[in-house]
Amino acid sequence: MAEITIRISDKALKIAGITLGSLCLAWVVFHLWSSGSFLPKYRLRVYVPEAAGLAVGAPVVLDGIRSAL
């Protein structure tokens, strides 16, 4: 029987490897993002003596970073 040899260039293999790796990375990031892995994991409760004028749902700033909620 005759043998068939397929030759693929090193450049094509590198491109295919980078493409496959990028797709796998994108898939992992997508699943982590959709599962909520990048969302804050804690909730703060603060009891203050006076909070006149503060409405429910008002924006909150903690150490200069505005709350996402």
Judge whether residue 69 has pLDDT over 60.
Answer: no
The model's pTM is: 0.51
Is 50 part of any domain?
yes
pLDDT in the model for residue 1: 76
How confident is the model over 7-53, as pLDDT tens digits?
989 999 999 999 999 999 999 999 998 888 888 777 777 777 777 77
DSSP state for residue 62 in the 8-state scheme = E
Is 1 part of any domain?
no
Q: Looking up tokens 């992992």, which residue turns up?
A: 28
Tally of CB atoms within 10 A around 60: 13
Is 49 part of any domain?
yes
DSSP string, 14-56: HHHHHHHHHHHHHHHHHHHHHTTTTS---------S--TTPPT
Is 4 part of any domain?
no
Overall domain count for the chain: 1
Angle at 40 between CA 49 and CA 64, to 5 degrees: 55
- Kind and range of the H or E element at 13? helix 10-34
pLDDT in the model for residue 61: 78
Is 5 part of any domain?
no
